[in-house]
Chains A and B, each alone.
Chain A
Amino acid sequence: EAGVVQSPRYKIIEKKQPVAFWCNPISGHNTLYWYLQNLGQGPELLIRYENEEAVDDSQLPKDRFSAERLKGVDSTLKIQPAELGDSAVYLCASSLGLKGIRETQYFGPGTRLLVL
């Protein structure tokens, strides 16, 4: 079974430029998550989708970040404009969406972003 797929794996951009990350979850997983991971820290949730609905975006900086999950499968996370402090690893995860306590999240390989 294929895992969570993300692209690109690495991205280097200059500040104020836009950037987009793409995620394809595990087949059959209804819930999709975007996390931000800074060096030496654990992942922090940016947004959670249940199917195509964003049900938790309280930690998403909406002035520059946006996300979408059309048709409830693939998702795109965008930053416009990027700032130096956005340099981090952006992780996508997915889960079945059963909403029980045993709900387990599986992570993709991440996109490592460097803003110069």
Chain B
Amino acid sequence: QKEVEQNSGPLSVPEGAIASLNCTYSDRGSQSFFWYRQYSGKSPELIMSIYSNGDKEDGRFTAQLNKASQYVSLLIRDSQPSDSATYLCAVNLIIQGAQKLVFGQGTRLTINP
């Protein structure tokens, strides 16, 4: 099992709809979770971080964390074509005693006008 898993997609969503991106992780002790957006040919850009169970909202973005089920999700409301990108889930894991940010492979999202 990979430490952080995402569906690689592509995920295709019509403009104006809700895009739902999911991520599962292996370490039950993880405490911090991040969503990065990466446009093609660009570097990852942090869009959300979440540390407690429940929902965290920031504009059109909502991050959801369920530590018991070891999953974190990102919802994008009123999806726009500019949201088309790869979304990377990153989880702080303890590996061999050291804290390390581990990324999933990313989900490629396409918003169709």
| A-to-B contact residues, CB < 8 Å | 40-45, 48, 55-56, 58, 91, 99, 101-110
- Which stretch of B62-70, B71-79, B93-101 is in the interface? B93-101
When the two chains form the complex, which single residue of A41, A43, A101, A108 contacts B51, counting CB atoms closer than 8 Å? Answer: A101
Give bound CA distance, A45 to B49, whole Å.
19
Give bound CA distance, A107 to B92, whole Å.
16
Inter-chain pairs besides A43-B44, A91-B44, 9 sampled, C-beta below 8 Å:
A40-B106, A43-B88, A44-B103, A58-B96, A101-B32, A104-B34, A104-B49, A107-B43, A110-B43
Interface size on B, residues (CB 8 A): 26
| B-to-A contact residues, CB < 8 Å | 4, 8, 31-32, 34, 36, 42-46, 49, 51, 88, 90, 92, 96, 98-106
Give bound CA distance, A101 to B103, whole Å.
16
B101 & A45 in contact (Cβ 8 Å cutoff): yes
Query: How many contacts between A and B, using CB within 8 angstroms?
Result: 51
Chain A binding surface SS class: loop
With A42-B103, A101-B32 given, is the CB distance from A107 to B45 under 8 Å? yes
When the two chains form the complex, which single residue of B46, B98, B102, B104 contacts A55, counting CB atoms closer than 8 Å? Answer: B98
Question: What B residues does A103 contact at CB under 8 A?
Answer: 32, 92, 99
When the two chains form the complex, which single residue of A42, A58, A99, A109 contacts B43, counting CB atoms closer than 8 Å? Answer: A109
Give bound CA distance, A106 to B90, whole Å.
13
A45 & B100 in contact (Cβ 8 Å cutoff): yes
Question: What A residues does B51 contact at CB under 8 A?
Answer: 101-102
